[in-house]
Chain A
Amino acid sequence: MTESDRQIVSGLKDVNKRDLAFHTLVNTYKERLYWHIRKIVMNHDDTDDVLQNTFLKVWKSVDSFREESTLYTWLYRIATNESITFINSKKKKSMLPLNEVNEYLLDNLMSDPYFEGDEIQLKLQKAILQLPEKQRIVFNMKYFDDIKYDDMAKILDTSVGALKASYHHAVKKIEDYLTNKDLN
């Protein structure tokens, strides 16, 4: 854990310093968590909701944070779980079958006014959306954020070996999607 993270954690545990420490935590991690959530739920408005829920959960469960994991992996774990919970609640509300969740996310992406990518980027996002949920999260974390497998293992509660295999499968599927132009 970095020194600044250690200070934040000790501030959060102290009732008198909690407000200030939480403010520092939000300022330090809001952008990183935003982009992590955004790649899972795709749309800005949904990301904003999930990010707020994430920090709210952090505020409520600060006392239960055991310093066995780093602050950063703890926050990413909460953000990932909140994102998955959000998608599952959407799935339930709209009675979407499992294979149509990706279509829902694709619609989310296409209707998002804040998607600024070009045609190639859109194609890549479409390819990523073909992946199963877990593979998609693993691919995004490794490919875009270059998060270490050890940290990913703590965040996603999986073994490093399983994560490496997941990433490998994801890369192969995306490559197939990108090369098979007739289907796109």
Chain B
Amino acid sequence: MEELNNIAPELSKIKKEKSFGTPDGYFDDFSARMQMKIEAEKAPVVKKEFRIINILKPALGLAASFAIIVLLVYVPLNTFLNKEQPNKQATSNEYPQTEFQSILEEIDENSFFALLNEEQNGKNDFTDEELQLYVSANFSDYEIYEYTEN
């Protein structure tokens, strides 16, 4: 102590007080916490059970990710493309009633009947032989008999 006074008078003036503290009850709890840590250390490490699912897990994960990516790309793309197609179809197939009537009004009577006859003539444009073949292929003898009797 005397030596310290000689070589370090400023230092020897400072009281050796405890300048650090701990949370309340720290040392009381410490033993219990340490005991738990040791118990955990003693517990044997459980080996992972060998299952086929463990082997397939990475592959399944990859497949699932791929499916999600496809869904994310395909669904919006499909919806986007379908939005354009129905418009085209609507113009070609769906004739609004009013538009159809206005077209009919514009055609004169003679041209209308000429068109109708043309269509009918086109429909009947087959020979007796073709008709006979069609009937024999699609109807039974009984059905033909019944039909002709009526």
Contact = CB atoms under 8 A, between A and B. Distances in A.
A172 B14 contact: no
Contacts of A26: 30-31, 34-35
Interface residues of B, number: 25
A158 interface: no
Given A23-B35, A34-B27, A52-B34, A117 B8 contact: no
Interface stretch (B16-24, B73-81, B120-128): B16-24
A114 B30 contact: no
Interface string A117-153: 1101110110000000000000000011000000000
Contacts of A59: 38, 41
Where chain A touches its partner, the secondary structure class is helix
Contacts of A118: 19
Interface residues of A, number: 39
Given A30-B31, A51-B30, A121-B17, A22 B38 contact: yes
A2 interface: no
Interface string B109-128: 00000000000000000000
A108 to B, nearest CB: 12
Given A56-B41, A178-B10, A115 B30 contact: no
Interface in B112-148: none
Contacts of B19: 115-118, 121-122, 124-125
Where chain B touches its partner, the secondary structure class is helix
Contact of A175 (B8, B22, B34, B37): B8
B17 to A, nearest CB: 6
B132 to A, nearest CB: 97
A39 B16 CA distance: 13
Contacts of B37: 52, 55-56
Contact of B38 (A38, A44, A56, A175): A56
A175 B11 contact: yes
Contacts of A99: none
Nearest to B38: A59
A38 B11 contact: no
27 contacts: A23-B31, A23-B35, A26-B30, A26-B34, A30-B31, A34-B27, A35-B20, A44-B20, A44-B21, A48-B26, A48-B30, A52-B37, A56-B37, A56-B38, A59-B38, A59-B41, A114-B23, A115-B19, A115-B21, A116-B19, A118-B19, A121-B14, A122-B19, A124-B14, A171-B7, A171-B8, A178-B14
Interface of A: 19, 22-23, 26-27, 30-31, 34-35, 38-39, 44, 48, 51-52, 55-56, 59-60, 112, 114-118, 120-122, 124-125, 143-144, 168, 171-172, 174-175, 178-179
Which 3 A-B residue pairings sit nearest by Cβ, starting from the closest? A117-B19, A175-B8, A121-B19
